[in-house]
Chains A and B, each alone.
Chain A
Amino acid sequence: MKLIVAYIQPEKLNAVKQSLYEAEVFKISVTNALGCGRQKGYHESYRGADVEVNLLKKVRLEIAVNEDFVKPTVDAIIKGARTGKIGDGKIFILDLPECIRIRTGETGHLAIG
């Protein structure tokens, strides 16, 4: 089992949801995130004083999948989120030792699927 964590551009969320849906990946968690990578921040000013904003608005996805769904999920995220411009985001894949569905007590592959 793997946990796929991805940081994407906020406005790409809809496209990513769409491509995940097409890849038959229906389970997803989304949180608001702030972050920065190689992309530079932008300038804000407030009452004449400059504010440099280093942390940019991002959206964080978390998707837990069985091994055979790792590739389709990653491909779908890339398909939805990629523009080719700096700031498209990153995908991390983590090993997931256990997973439990609270309602039924099922564990492992059954709980994920």
Chain B
Amino acid sequence: MRAGKRTLLAVLMSLLCMTTAVFAEESAPVDMATFTANNIWMMVATFLVFVMHLGFATLEAGLTRAKNTVNILFKNTLIPAIGVLTFALIGFNLMYPGEAFAGRWFGFSGFGISLPEGGVTSAYNVGYTYWTDFLFQAMFAATAATIVSGAVAERIKLHSFLLFSVIYVAIAYPIVGMWHWGGGWLAVQNFHDFAGSTMVHSVGGWGALAGVLLLGPRLGKYVNGKPKPIMGHSMPLAVIGVFLLWLGWFGFNGGSVLSGDPGPVSYVLVTTTLAAAAGIVGAMATSWLVQKKPDLSMVLNGCLAGLVGITAGADAVGISASIIIGAIAGVLVVLAVLGFDRARIDDPVGALSVHLVNGIWGTLAVGLFSAEYSFLVQLKGVLAAGVFCFVFAFVLFLAIKHILGLRVSEEEELKGLDIGEHGMEAYGGFQIFTTQ
């Protein structure tokens, strides 16, 4: 049976090679078989980034209380919808305005998406069609808002959060993305952020920080000035979420090669995985030392921290560097969670520690571990994105606070946002202790 499968595979492979060989003689930028293979990989990567939204949904649900589960799942269902729709309306053309805006801070090439000439051939790009390009990038856009969702969980009004997400994803995310990926001012300075440690994760992280600062901590988080644990209600859900995110990251980073080129794609997947593994180990060691007993939720954050950390340099750093970057990310995330807690910055799921702290670390690490890129330019990119995103998000949240209000009533927070915002429960028929 095995032998039979192998033979079949060998035949298929040789057929594929033959077609490749035949087409390679033509003068097109890339032959049809390669273009098709590239485009298929890019679509697979798109599906993987898509499934990250399920990962965020389960992770955030698991790390928050049962009485807020409908609310967090609701937000995580709306976010991909908001991301894709706004990206179709303006985001894509804000982020990739075209060569006319090369080196600029801002560009916009009109509303809506429509197929340019040759958009579905390799003349558009050797790696993908116009449509694949749009969908892959749209999936990325939504992740930025998802990061905010976890940090402001269990106390933000639903409509206020949704309004914030629409504006942030539609405008802030693509503008920053344009600076680097859209050929803007950072791109021409040889800034390097391969798949978005800064462009995606820090953008989300800065937005989250602004939200958390304006909202304040959850009721019961600080008693007599001391931080108290508010336990998440399902570690199994959190674990499922992290593994889904890890799976999704193969598309997030692997797809950021922007073609199916075997060498770079497989290399990026290796550095990505090694960093995730090192993040787990780094977080375990730190948690064991600092907290006396190893904390599963910290190790889960450590895995994501390693992934966020390697995202900027997955293609540019060496194998051993990828392990070091991941391990340091794992250490940083645990210290950051404890530090934010002490600083009265209440982040139920550790989104700031994972996405903001390690988004910054990963971007700077490219400057440290790769000879091709300058640390100072990396720092400049981190600071520019940080200032823009934080100010944008802070002003936006502040405006929403004055118009709609940001935080639910104390009574609603105690009873749970599931009843307050949605009038339904996540676990009908179960009795759940809601004493916090």
Contacts and interface: CB of A to CB of B under 8 A. Distances in A.
B31 interface: no
Interface in A44-58: 44-46, 57
A72 interface: no
B17 to A, nearest CB: 54
Contact of B419 (A11, A34, A42): A42
A11 B410 CA distance: 11
A43 interface: yes
Q: For the side of the interface on B, what is the size category? A: 10 to 19
Contacts of A44: 419, 423-425
Nearest to A8: B435
Nearest to B220: A14
Contact of B435 (A10, A34, A46): A10
Interface in B394-436: 414-415, 419, 423-425, 428, 431-436
Contact of A13 (B223, B423, B424, B435): B435
Contact of B428 (A11, A13, A46): A46
Given A42-B419, A43-B423, A46-B424, A14 B431 contact: no
Contacts of A10: 433-435
B424 A11 contact: no
Specify the main secondary structure of chain B where it touches its partner.
Answer: loop
Contacts of A46: 424, 428
A59 interface: yes
B423 A34 contact: no
Contacts of B433: 10, 32, 59
A45 B415 CA distance: 16
A64 B435 CA distance: 22
Contacts of A57: 434
B431 A45 contact: no
20 contacts: A10-B434, A10-B435, A11-B220, A11-B434, A11-B435, A11-B436, A13-B435, A14-B220, A14-B223, A14-B435, A32-B433, A34-B431, A42-B415, A44-B419, A44-B423, A44-B424, A45-B424, A46-B428, A57-B434, A59-B435
Interface of A: 10-11, 13-14, 32, 34, 42-46, 57, 59
